[in-house]
Amino acid sequence: MLSRLVPAPMVRWFARPYVAGDSLDKALDVAARLWRDHGALTTLDVLGEEVKEKARVDANVKLYASVIDALGRDPRFAEVAARPSVSLKPSAFTVGGHEEARAPIAQLAAHAHDRGVALTVDMEDRRWTDFTIDLAVGLFERGNDVGTVLQTRLNRTEKDLARIPPGMRLRLVIGIYPEPAEVATTDKWAMKERMVSFARRLLERKVFVEFGTHDRPTVERFVREVAPLDPDRCELQMLLGVPRMDLLARVRKGALGPALPVRLYVPFADGWDDATAYLRRRMAESPSVTWLVLRNLFSRGR
């Protein structure tokens, strides 16, 4: 893979606009600045997945608990409406089967509930789909502010929509994981069409839709055609460093349709080893993301 040949210092340089840094304090500062300067909400994610050592699982639980504690006490986020949410990946909490991740994530969900912090259980590749939906829905139905993610590239997602109960948060994305043709479409147009169609169905069922895409035409379709159905139950989400802030401002101020909250996905690491590994995986898994980042880097230099 080409991504493995890129030296780590270059990967880190490449990632600077897209990772909040190598500490919780840096991530909190980025989140506070985005809210202060742009009115943008955030969700914090600790980089690291597919854990191989039990010690790393234990460290991830402690680190996420410290993230939740920090968000609950930081005076910059005293207003709950401005407080970042937290996102986590199940594979960061097990070295074996999926079920081993259930208890630590449930523990963190309860901790987040006590601190007034919303939690999202991120979706990984197709091997995790059933477990992730079952876990997140169960936590939500027990009174926790827990959401999850569905990916429109997977053919099964149309049926999975019905598994998300009214009132729950659902981040709807194309998905970054490459999947075999027998379970997923490779047609980007179809993925985007599914996003708009599925968002409409979810809103009609009173699910809170977190619409996650950087594609401007798809954003505009969602804001103009779908969000008016229930603007209080949706928001736009993008990755840190990728979006044009003018587009986010237009969505937030209602220039394209109803005014919607906007939220940026803000990843950080407690060390650059995890961050570098994560970025190499993303570069390998989705060359389109690499080209999008390169395009943004060159456009900034003009």
With pLDDT > 90 as the criterion, what percentage of the chain qualifies? Answer: 74
| Distance from C-alpha of 154 to C-alpha of 178, rounded to nearest angstrom | 10
Q: Look at phi and psi of residue 238 and say left if phi exceeds 0, alpha if psi is from -120 to 50, else beta.
A: beta
Number of domains the chain contains: 1
Q: What's the pLDDT at 245?
A: 84
pLDDT in tens, 208-265: 999 999 999 999 999 999 999 999 999 999 999 876 788 999 999 999 999 999 999 9
Q: What's the pLDDT at 37?
A: 94
Residue 48: pLDDT band with limits 50, 70, 90: confident
Tell me whether residue 70 is in a domain.
yes
Tell me whether residue 220 is in a domain.
no
Instruction: Report CA torsion sign: 41, 237, 164, 96.
Output: negative
Q: What's the pLDDT at 2?
A: 46
Tell me whether residue 101 is in a domain.
yes
Tokens of residue 73, six digits: 């006490």
Overall average pLDDT of the 41-50 stretch? 88
Q: Which residues are catalytic?
A: 122, 171
CATH code at position 95: 3.20.20.220
Q: Which residues pair with 86 in a beta bridge?
A: 44, 119
Q: Which residue has the higher pLDDT, 96 or 282?
A: 96
Tell me whether residue 97 is in a domain.
yes
Tell me whether residue 163 is in a domain.
no
| Distance from C-alpha of 24 to C-alpha of 41, rounded to nearest angstrom | 17
| DSSP line for 174-217 | --SS---TTTB---HHHHHHHHHHHHHHHHHTTPEEEEE---HH
Residue 278: pLDDT band with limits 50, 70, 90: low
Q: What's the pLDDT at 301?
A: 46
Tell me whether residue 280 is in a domain.
yes
Is the pLDDT reported for residue 289 higher than 90?
A: no
Tell me whether residue 141 is in a domain.
yes
Reduced to 3 states (helix: H, G, I; strand: E, B; else coil), residue 89 is coil
Residue 1: pLDDT band with limits 50, 70, 90: very low
The lowest-confidence range among 99-103, 107-111, 140-144, 268-272 is 268-272
Print the domain residue range for 114.
2-146+236-254+261-297
What is the β-pairing status of strands 208-212 and 169-173? Answer: parallel
Tell me whether residue 91 is in a domain.
yes
pLDDT in tens, 178-213: 899 999 999 999 999 999 999 999 999 999 999 999
